[in-house]
């Protein structure tokens, strides 16, 4: 059962606690829109399963794809969201739904619809700020009195626009990409166990069995001033994206996730295999996965 940092007094943690610190907002630095002769095509699927133990599914996930051709050409647009409601709180399922829908509504209004109405292509820094604001707007919606009870949620968002990928993240859901057979984490968990690993107080092996690995240092709906991680990447010409809740990563190793994703199956088949792997490992939590395949295609509109 996931707990937020706001409830850590209920636990007698023998390891000295440290305050969460805002990391660098971008892993790779700012990236300006890049014009190439090819266009990225996106194909995705999403799956969510209650698991083998829980009575209800508190995860929420969304997937949107928009593309165009001919004279009215727009940059390819993909929006992918995973939110994991915090179990043990009244309204965790509603919190994840409210957060996912609020963030999606904000980004579609602020980025996609202006592009659709022929407004100028926004620069990277502006999109990063809009990604951050989308999470904060979701946080405010979850915090509304009586709207989601005392629930909280993680929120991980990936926005593919043209040849760029923007990621906004709070909590311990994750985003990865698989490129040339290598699986790379695009987010970092905001959890006690991750912080203790960073501080050298836990090894990877100890972390896997740590008693308080479910305690979050950041979550929507559980703190007044929320810090949001925002990253920008240039998308390679081909690869796969994965957004998932910790019901997957807590049960299936990254080695096995890479193996499952690095095959010839469709995104839907890959998502099914990931869910099955987590269920076979015990399925002790809700399991959600959004799998997106992207590849470049020659821009046929130039004529």
The partner residues of 42 in beta bridges, in order of sequence, read 294
What pLDDT sits at residue 200?
A: 81
The answer to whether the CB of 79 falls within 8 A of the CB of 63 is: yes
Q: Where are the alpha helices (DSSP H) in the chain?
A: 92-107, 113-116, 124-143, 192-198, 204-208, 246-249, 254-261, 267-280
pTM of the model: 0.86
d(CA 294, CA 278): 24
CA 31 to the chain's CA centroid: 20
- Dihedral (CA of 197, 156, 180, 24) sign: negative
The DSSP bridge pattern shows strands 238-244 and 215-216 to be unpaired
Q: Tokens 């829908």 — which residue?
A: 101
CA dihedral 198, 200, 203, 209 (to 10 degrees): -70
Q: Tokens for 73, please give them.
A: 């050409």
Q: Tokens for 257, please give them.
A: 């996730």
Domain ranges of the chain: 38-302
Angle between helices 254-261 and 267-280 (to 10 degrees): 150
> In this structure, which topology does domain 38-302 adopt according to CATH?
Phosphatase 2c; domain 1 (3.60.40)
The answer to whether the CB of 191 falls within 8 A of the CB of 217 is: yes
What pLDDT sits at residue 145?
A: 73
User: Mean pLDDT, 10 residues at a time, over the chain (303 residues)?
Assistant: 50 36 40 54 97 94 91 89 80 92 98 91 94 97 73 95 96 97 97 84 74 84 90 96 96 96 96 98 96 80 39
Q: For the chain, give percent helix, strand, coil, nearest 5.
A: 30, 30, 40
The answer to whether the CB of 63 falls within 8 A of the CB of 46 is: yes
What pLDDT sits at residue 72?
A: 73
What pLDDT sits at residue 69?
A: 82
């Amino acid at each position: 059962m996931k707990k937020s940092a706001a409830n850590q007094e209920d636990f007698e943690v023998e390891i000295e606690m440290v305050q969460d610190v805002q990391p660098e907002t971008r892993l790779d630095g700012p990236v300006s829109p890049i014009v190439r002769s090819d266009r990225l095509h996106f194909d995705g699927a999403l799956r969510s399963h209650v698991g083998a133990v829980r009575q209800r599914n508190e995860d929420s996930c969304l997937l949107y794809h928009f593309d165009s051709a001919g004279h009215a050409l727009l940059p390819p647009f993909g929006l992918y969201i995973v939110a994991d409601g915090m179990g043990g709180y009244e309204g965790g399922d509603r919190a994840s739904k409210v957060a996912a829908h609020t963030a999606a509504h904000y980004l579609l209004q602020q980025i996609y619809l202006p592009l659709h109405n022929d407004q100028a292509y926004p620069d990277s820094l502006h999109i990063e700020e809009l990604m951050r604001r989308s999470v904060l707007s979701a946080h405010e919606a979850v915090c509304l009195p009586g709207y989601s009870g005392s629930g909280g949620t993680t929120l991980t968002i990936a926005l593919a626009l043209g040849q760029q990928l923007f990621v906004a993240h709070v909590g311990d859901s994750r985003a990865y990409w698989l490129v040339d057979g290598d699986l790379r984490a695009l987010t970092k968990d905001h959890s006690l166990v991750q912080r203790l690993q960073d501080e050298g107080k836990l090894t990877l092996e100890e972390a896997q069995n740590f008693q308080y690995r479910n305690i979050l240092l950041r979550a929507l709906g559980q703190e007044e001033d929320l810090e949001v991680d925002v990253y920008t990447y240039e998308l390679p010409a081909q690869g796969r994206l994965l957004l998932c809740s910790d019901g997957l990563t807590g049960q299936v190793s990254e080695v096995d996730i890479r193996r499952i994703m690095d095959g010839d199956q469709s995104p839907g088949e890959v998502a099914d295999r990931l869910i099955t792997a987590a269920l076979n490992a015990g399925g002790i939590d809700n399991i959600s996965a959004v799998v997106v395949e992207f590849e470049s295609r020659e821009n046929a509109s130039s004529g």
